[in-house]
Structure 1
């Protein structure tokens, strides 16, 4: 079976290598400009195509590359994080269509930044789905393979990305094996009821700004949802941007009165900060490019984070 690789991210890159090493032929590689958080760039995909001696194209409009796809005669496409919506006439080039690996529990989490939004919503698990693409639509095709990662208040988007990177190649391989045995294979048809779908829109670095008037649990979720590979949850301390990478809910249940953002405890390894309700314990922060315990900068319970 010949596969066209379409999209971006280190996960797609490793999936292509994984499938090639297991006997699948790569027909061509099409990518577009990488996002800042990606560790694999368009240059890596160029080298991948060169090493496999297959055609390569770069661009954000898949329609521009239809002739390359036809000439490559792929049986099926694999797409992840491509920058544009793929129309049906492109999908029709492939006898078995195009599979998309999506880091969200379909149909509820469709679109962008689904892992971050699921953390913010307090979900108990993250879905990873391989589904057939439908032209002009977003994450709406029949599901061919699915896996889940349980999450809790301590789960960072970093952990989810690592899990997806580990599991996606094998899940895609499993989906392809099912299609080889039965080209019409479907694990689950997605609901057509709009009430069952939740459209997730992109997040930007400034969305990681902490509002200390929120509840402690919501601030923890924001810090975890904004974590690496993204820009991080952040606040202001004495006119400097402080990015918080590690935080938790302290176990002590002190009754207190404090202005949100008030530092309530300073320890060598952490600081406690009052929120709209409850406190968070900050374990690791970054200022001016230096990552350390927050007590490196915060010295007194008279200090406040804004």
Structure 2
């Protein structure tokens, strides 16, 4: 019996053949292309900026419209500032086909594209995804890459298929190394530029790139669901200092690490693992006079150094500020952080 992936691949090939005549009516079979771009955030913005420059030059883009779900997102704001045609989500097919588009390009859009919209483009739709597929399918691939301490990441260009995220045939994959202490913001910026570059190359060789797409492997699939504040909770008895540091690098820009200080939530804004180990119970706090950092015992006898932190409703403070303003005001046996809120 044919595997489900193989059946989808055959159906996709059939779709291309059935739409070839339509494609010939709308296109000269080569660039410059009529493009509709679907995007939202700063990761998508790099690709839109590239497409805008291609539109200005006229070499590979002759028409460019932009589909946005939210008018306050970076993609929408850039489109307004540069007088690009904006089509609100969910678009009417007549609006999409106004400029006889040949290809739809999707970067960090966040919505499933229905078959009716995919079929509006004679060449289908191409998505730029920030991982090496089939690893980290889903909404937050970069965060999960950093969260898991991976040393390699990349971007994948793939064909869009209806009903499921990130399962289409792969057009191309480009890989980069992840720095030891690189955070999700830094990696996002680098991958955004890489994605724009790979999309530009695909656009310049569009028909050949699409014809060479191959089905994704059935093995090695992992998922990157949306993140939540629970993921940044410090559970000292379960997580090592290295694991907490990875969470800090992955999440600090959206959900800083947090714990409990005698009934108050406290956030850790900068932290690193210590090289030393400890026999202290997880959550116990000490202060290093040499480094002027708080040192917190974690799982696996590891130690996390806290450089700066913030109590709820108060300004950011250094570790020394916390020692003088809070730690010294309680008995030594109460120098302990409780677990963060996981409810």
**TM-score, with structure 2 as normaliser:** 0.76
By how many angstroms is 1:269 displaced? 4.0
Question: In the alignment, is the contact (CA less than 8 A) between 1:98 and 1:132 conserved in 2?
Answer: yes
Q: Deviations over 1:180-205 (max 9, x none)?
A: 5555133x5311x2x43223221112
Aligned-residue offset at 1:273: 0.8
| Residues in 2 aligned to 1:44 and 1:112: alpha-carbon distance in whole angstroms | 17
Match of 2:40 in 1: 8
Q: Larger Cα Rg: Structure 1 or Structure 2?
A: 2
Cα distance between partner residues in 2 of 1:152 and 1:284: 22
Q: 2:104 aligns with which of 72, 77, 102?
A: 77
Given that residues 178 and 185 in structure 1 are in contact (C-alpha distance below 8 angstroms), is that contact kept between their aligned partners in structure 2? no
> Residues 133 and 44 (structure 1 numbering): CA distance in 2 closer, same or farther, change over 3 Å?
closer
Greater percentage in helix: 2
With over 3 angstroms needed to count, the CA separation of the structure-2 counterparts of 1:126 and 1:260, relative to structure 1, is same
1:264 equivalenced with 2:286 (yes/no) = yes
Deviates more, 1:267-276 or 1:284-293: 284-293
Question: Quick check: 1:89–1:135 contact (8 Å CA) kept in 2?
Answer: no
SS of match in other structure, 2:82:
helix
TM-score in terms of structure 1 length? 0.84
Mapped contact 1:26–1:52 kept (Cα < 8 A): no
Matched residue, 2:20: none
Structure 1 residue corresponding to 2:322, chosen from 271, 275, 297 = 297
2: CA distance, partners of 1:298 / 1:107: 47
Change (3 A) 1:119 1:44: closer
- The alpha-carbon distance between structure 1 residues 26 and 12, as it changes in their structure 2 partners (threshold 3 A), is farther
| Deviation of the 1:149 alpha carbon | 2.9
Report the counterpart of residue 221 of structure 2 in structure 1: 197
Unmatched tracts of structure 2, length 5 or more: 1-32, 339-343
Map 1:4-153 → 2, pairs under 5 A = 4-22=36-54, 23=57, 24-33=61-70, 41-42=72-73, 45=76, 48-49=79-80, 51-54=82-85, 56-59=86-89, 62=90, 64-151=91-178, 153=180
- Show structure 1 runs of 5+ residues with no match: 35-40
Distance (Å, rounded) in 1 between the aligned partners of 2:176 and 2:315 = 32
Distance apart, 1:221 and its partner CA: 1.6
Do the aligned partners of residues 262 and 43 (structure 1) sit closer, same or farther apart at CA in structure 2, a change above 3 Å counting? closer
Contact 2:155/2:191 (CA < 8 Å) preserved in 1? yes
Distance 1:101 1:218 in 2: 29
- RMSD across aligned positions (CA): 2.5
The equivalent of 1:38 in structure 2 is: none
How many equivalent pairs are there?
Answer: 290
Q: Deviations over 1:41-79 (max 9, x none)?
A: 34761561573452x2333xx3x4322112232121111
Matched-pair contact (CA < 8 Å) for 1:153–1:221: no
* Conserved 8 A contact 1:128-1:147: yes
